[in-house]
Structure 1
Amino acid sequence: MHMFLLVALATATAWDVELACLDTAEWSKYHAAYEVAARATALEGSDRAVSRASLGKELLARTSNVTEVLSCNVGVVAGYYLLAHLVSQEVKSMNPGNIFGLKPFEHRTGLAYRLLQLALIFIFTLRNANRIPSGPAQAWGVTEHHIIPALLQMRRGQDEWLKNHVQRLQPISPSFRDPNLNIAIVSICAYPADHPLVLPKLTPANRETYANRHGYALRVHLEHPIIGAHGLGVQHAKLATVLAYLQSNEFDWVAWLDCDSIIMNMNRTLDSIIYQYTQKRAEAEMEAGLKEAKNPAPVCGEKLDMPDLLIGEWSDSWVTDDLREESLIRIRRGELAMDSSAVWAEAPQIGLVQGEVQGNQLEMDFGDAKLQAEIQWNITGNGAVELLWENGARWVHRVDHQSCREPCRAIGPGCDSQLLDPEVNLLITEEGWGLSSANWLIKRSAWSMKFLHDALTAAHVELQLFGDQDAMILHLMNRQALEVVQEPSLEDATLYQDPLDAHAAVIPQFELNAYDALNALTMECDAFVEGDLLVTFPQCKEAEGCNDVFELAAEYANDDGKLLEPDAGAWWRRQESTPKWSRYSQLSSAALRIFGPRPLIREVYTQEQQLRKRCRSTSFCMRRADAAHLLTF
């Protein structure tokens, strides 16, 4: 700890102890702004806006040098949470008691979501198992139970927005390669020679096979890297290492991949991910917003979820032509975010009715009777989507799928660098509680090198309690979010606009960071499915129970005989299902952990939890040999 903090703490006052905050002029001013803002949560209009702006200004000042945060961690966490509540009333209502009963967000959740992520990275600096100590928590009026459930719920809205956004992009084939792009893959697998994990033996060979197939440069460090800052810790080494490779001017893009990520689809290129997610946004989309933007035609060969296929406007064959427009039927998803099969239909002639999709059947409760309809569609040829009801009615989707969009498969007209936004320099995923530093792509640019330098400085010099992920989050959204909250008026468009640095783009998690099925289940994230580029194993640190998993993943990656369908790995073909790999076995703990499928792993996970509970509460406990079919943790 810095000497000035030791001296200040030695003379702590009651104010310091109660709020866990140094009694200095700067923190006193911050606390006063916080108190005014807390009272303003009950107000509307200009008073609320002024207090919000004042707190945002003070919080930006206090976090501009993150070293100072150590003298008032909980106060900083409370400030971000309070600002999130001031910009979104729904934040306050999100708690473990009602989180699953809330309606899903119709928009990207934007500003409040980023403020909660910032709150969380400063909870981590408390080093208290993600918990805020009870005393300061009471004094500041905030606990982790206010922040984490709201963050998880808002992420669902963010995921839904991202899914809609991706559907409007020009599709890029997973095998797409731009021969003009010079790409490097960088990893650090610097384990001690006697370390029991098999990763330092498996990962380099896995990376080499992939890099050779596509002509990528490979830089895997098997010893602690010399490049980077003096005295650099392992947790900050990736920032310095990637920065050094960008500064070398050898590469257009650098892909950082953690050592515990195994590449599974050797045919999927990094070029295809770059071209898919650095595209310029269409002008019509920018002006109208995603909610009002016209639904795009499906991609040729797209696998559509049935509820998604139904969403939109339908004409009713029982309505005369002169009343057809005013009698359009509008179908949308159900009210509960967790209920993926529920849909609602509304029109003057039927009112508001609820339905459920099962396979290619739709059942609707019209009040006096339940009726079933067969869903018929053909997205690869001419013909509209139709609902054929058992009573003879026929609904026709207003979006006529007369054609489908062909993905870009090679460089050519409409499939070249003109698609791309030159200002997008970083592709990063988001899962769990925020942006991930596990696997990401970054372009050589002045912005990229400054960003990595600033993040490295924050983590290595200013606040070593920060991991690389925390530092990246800080520099991608802190200043941006806190400047937005100072605006006098926050209209809906501002609230839902993501304050993330415009040079960065969040991409779907499965593209660069699909989790093994067990962690995906427990963390509510994308699980690896066949075709995904890679699988990563968060929290798998012990040789027992993990080496078998790593080795099976590497075996799958090396199997050139496995059958992958055309365009495997493309977002429009992706669906969770039982893997088709011939060596997959539901009796294998390792196979279940990697591949799932999720319903099966949920069942096995529940069984094991019950077994563990029984072991704790009674003298009975199943021996490991008798429980070989269960998951290991």
Structure 2
Amino acid sequence: MLPWRPLELLLLLLTLVDADVADDDLACAIETSEWKTYHAAYEMAARATAIENSGERRAAAVGLAEQLLARTANVTEVLSCNVGVVAGYYILARLISPTAVDTLGFAGGAPEGLTGLAYRLLQLALVFIFTLRNANRIPEGPAKAWGVTEHHIIPAIMQMRRGHDQRLRREFRNLVPIAPSFRDPKLNIAVVSICAYPEGHPLALPRLTPSNREAYAEHHGYSLRLHLEHPIIGAHGLGVQHAKLATVLAYLQSNEYDWVAWLDCDSIIMNMNRTLDSVIYQYAQYRQGGGPDTEVAPVCGEGEDAEDLDLLTGKWLDSWVADEFREEGAIYISRDSDSDEVQAEAQQIGHSGGRLVDGRLEMDFPGGPLQASIVWKKDVEGIPRQVESLKWDNGAVWVHELEDKMEPCREPCRAPGPGCNASLLDPEVNLLITEEGWGLSSANWIIRHSAWSMKFLHDALTAAHVELQLFGDQDAMILNLMNRQALEATQKGADAGELDPIDRHAAIVPQFELNAYDALNALTMDCDAFVEGDLLVTFPQCKDAEGCNDVFELAADYAKDAEKQLPADCGAWWQRREKMPTWSRYNRFSSASLRVFGPRPLIREVFMNEQSRKKMHPVLGAAHTV
């Protein structure tokens, strides 16, 4: 039992706080009883961050969480104390996962994805930083008064997301694999977009996106609901920033569709064979049990691509070394995480770098470059799954030390049938949404026709359109998916950051599945870049016709090219790898090609060179930007 109940502690603290000491720098309506009580709870929680007693820390966290829940019940009230609310979420995150927050996500379980609750609390803090409309910065006076700045929050979110994302992706390996072409004809799916640009607008999107959507919807038998004018449905006086919430809600309320997919106008569908059904069945299915580190058999076809450098890592025995010295002369190949290269090391070759060239391994040995053919080992079903040996052009053979026995692989579901029908879907999963950069994305998402979905969209629309019009649709969605959930989890005494309190009706989908970025934005935002096979590519903040139209045009041309050859199951998570694109029209010297396709190491090199050029020759550099 706690030595003090939260209310008792709060009342005690209130007796110690002088009502007349409120500082204008707080930028808070501290003279009201509600915010005075909140400030007292905040002060108690802030002091508790320096206390080791877990009972006192928990009591302080519970008291502050109760106050935050009350103050954000109607987000209009937050405008009376924006920075104070931001500080409240930040302090709660510090009480929940102090090491993770104080190291900005570099320790304390963050790299392993064990900071779910603290991670969500920081995201909520960021939502209210946005309401300040100050370029994501907290003004200096209130920042000092409340003891918080954006530098405490944004870097921690970005770093925590990496571990959180990797944990989720490991867990997804336990799911039944769904082929990218999977289509359930019983599902009635609508694709909804708004491309309502003024007549004569210079951007190419209102010309390109409609035909792109039409081709995709017709190919799979989806209903296309594309608005080329500002929609009247939804709510009176609706702003563009809230239109998607009202529009999708209206289509759910029509009771015509099982699922509705919202796609932003600046997202170009690139893989016409990838179905929305496959995304739904892959991520809205029942969880199969097992943690993120549970070992499961690979998916059939996983690892067949010689471009996967990870398959070359490990221990190799050199045929040119005598048997009695072969172990001593073993070669170890490791993957270079920062480039598309491997490193080989042994006493007879020293340290050598290498790369894949047209499906062969090329290494830079002391005597010069040399290439080797890659020999595959097949499983019991005859499918190549592991690299068995490397046969060098000079006659040497390196043999990979592998497990003698390989378990049968898992066949992906390719059509509805036994073990792959509607019973696979979890009826409690109603929203599929991606997460990147600073948090959940409202760019592209899929939502099921259900009572929960309609209430969720209605509540989000109310928060953004009625209560706080400074909110965009993304802010309102985040608020309704995690605010109450995170604060209630805090009150229940979640003493570790592992819990992810996002609403159980929502499933986080890997970003590349619904929202792969162009390579330049992926580089700057540290998230998934588009690779061949992905459903679509999106271009965040690409608003300038002169700099963006050639990029949009190239993406649309790629989507229309029926002659391009993509491997079987291209677009499946088990086949996805960032590598050089195979499209015949790809040009690594073209700015548009680089921006759409990358790959990331190449665009990083170009980007860094351009930054250096700008520093040395500002005028000249401006003419050579990516």
Instruction: Establish whether TM, by shorter chain, passes 0.5.
Output: yes
Q: Give the partner amino acid of 1:415.
A: C
1:22 aligned partner: 29
1:433 pairs, out of 435, 438, 441, with 438
Q: 1:37 aligns with which of 33, 42, 45?
A: 45
Q: Give 3-state SS (helix, strand or coil) of 2:199's partner.
A: coil
- State the aligned residue count: 562
Say if 2:507 is the partner of 1:505. yes
CA distance change for structure 1 residues 377 and 132 in 2, over 3 Å: closer, same or farther? Answer: farther
Which residue identity does 2:488 align to in structure 1? Answer: E
Kindly state the Cα deviation for residue 339 of structure 1 after the two structures are TM-superposed: 9.6
Offset, 1:612: 2.4
2:276 equivalent to 1:275: no
Displacement of 1:36: 1.1
Query: How far off its partner does 1:498 sit?
Result: 1.2
Task: Provide closer, same or farther for how the CA distance between residues 580 and 190 of structure 1 changes in structure 2, counting only shifts above 3 A.
Answer: same
Contact 1:167 1:296 in 2 (8 A): no
CA contact (8 A) 1:175 1:269 kept: yes
**Amino acid of the structure 1 residue aligned with 2:429:** V
Residues in 1 aligned to 2:339 and 2:123: alpha-carbon distance in whole angstroms = 26
For residues 509-549 of structure 1, the C-alpha deviation after alignment (integer angstroms, 9 at most, x for no partner) is 01000000110011001000111110000010011111111
- Partners of 2:339 and 2:601 within 8 A in 1: no
Of 598, 601, 608, the residue aligned with 1:599 is 601
1:446 corresponds to 2:445: no
Q: Is the 2:297–2:408 contact (alpha carbons within 8 Å) kept by the matching residues of 1?
A: no
Counterpart CA distance in 2 for 1:582 and 1:454 is: 48
Q: Which amino acid aligns with 1:89?
A: P
Contact 1:383 1:401 in 2 (8 A): no
String of CA shifts for 1:415-442, please: whole Å, max 9, x gaps.
Answer: 1111110110000000010000000000
What SS does the corresponding residue of 1:83 show, helix, strand or coil? helix
- Determine if the alignment matches structure 1 residue 250 to structure 2 residue 256: yes
How many Å apart are 1:89 and its aligned residue?
A: 2.0
CA distance in structure 2 between the partners assigned to 1:386 and 1:228 by the alignment: 56
Match of 2:461 in 1: 456
Tell me the CA shift for residue 497 of structure 1.
Answer: 2.2
Residue in 1 that maps onto 2:130: 124
Q: Which residue of 2 aligns with 1:473?
A: 478
Structure 1 partner of 2:87: 78
Q: Tell me the equivalent position of 1:347.
A: none
Using the TM superposition, give the Cα deviation of residue 295 of structure 1 relative to its aligned residue in structure 2, in angstroms: 3.2
Distance in 1 (CA, whole Å) between partners of 2:387 and 2:180 is 31
- Please, what TM-score do these two structures have when normalized by structure 2? 0.83
* Matched residue type, 1:27: W
In structure 2, the residue matched to 1:51 is 60
CA distance in 1: counterparts of 2:313 and 2:33, whole angstroms: 56
Per-residue CA deviations over 1:349-405 (Å, capped at 9, x if unaligned) read xxxxxx9998799x9xxxxxxxxxx99854564899699999x9995549x423111
Correspondent of 2:157 among 151, 169, 175: 151
1:388–1:569 Cα change, 3 Å? closer
Query: Are 1:163 and 2:162 matched, yes or no?
Result: no
CA–CA distance in structure 1, aligned partners of residues 166 and 354 of structure 2: 19
Matches within 5 A, 1:510-529: 510-529=512-531
CA distance in 2, matches of 1:605, 1:489: 43
Q: Cα offset for 1:154?
A: 0.3
Cα RMSD for the two superposed structures: 3.3
1:5 matched residue in structure 2: none
Report the residue type matching 1:65 in the other structure: N
* Deviates most, 422-431 or 103-112: 103-112
1:385, 1:397 within 8 Å by CA — same for their partners in 2? Answer: no
Q: 1:102 to 1:424 in 2, by over 3 A?
A: closer
Distance 1:245 1:162, change over 3 A: same
> 2-side partners of 1:177 and 1:264: how far apart?
18
Partner of 2:297 in structure 1?
Answer: 296
Deviation at 1:232, TM superposition (A): 0.2
Q: Quick check: 232-241 or 297-306, which moved more?
A: 297-306
Letter in 2 for 1:267: N
Tell me, yes or no, if structure 1 residue 188 matches structure 2 residue 194: yes
Greater displacement, 52-61 / 603-612: 603-612
Q: How far apart are residue 102 of structure 1 and its match?
A: 9.0
Cα gap change, 1:51/1:104 in structure 2, threshold over 3 Å: closer, same or farther? closer
Question: C-alpha displacement at 1:443, in angstroms?
Answer: 0.4
Give 5+ residue unaligned stretches, structure 1: 1-11, 315-330, 344-354, 364-373
Give the match for residue 62 of structure 1: 71
Equivalent residue for 1:89, pick from 98, 110, 126: 98
Q: Whole-Å Cα distance in 2 between the matches of residues 446 and 129 of structure 1?
A: 37
Once the two structures are superposed, residues 474-509 of structure 1 have per-residue CA deviations (whole angstroms, 9 ceiling, x without a partner) of 000000000011123525xxx312100000000000
Deviation of 1:557 after TM superposition, in Å, equals 0.7
Give the TM-score normalised by structure 1: 0.82
After superposing the two structures, state which structure 1 stretch, 149-158 or 583-592, moved more. Answer: 583-592
Sequence identity percentage: 64
- The code of the aligned residue for 2:298 comes to A
Secondary structure of 1:256's aligned partner? strand
For residue 369 of structure 1, what is the aligned residue in structure 2? none
Give distance in 1, aligned partners of 2:247 and 2:563. 36
- The answer on whether the counterparts of 2:340 and 2:355 sit within 8 Å (CA) in structure 1 is no
Instruction: Determine if the alignment matches structure 1 residue 414 to structure 2 residue 416.
Output: no
Closer/same/farther in 2, CA of residues 74 and 377 from structure 1, 3 Å limit: farther
> Residues 203 and 259 of structure 1 are in contact (CA less than 8 Å); yes or no, is this contact kept in structure 2?
yes
Deviations 1:151-189 (A, max 9, x none): 011000011112101211111111100000000000000
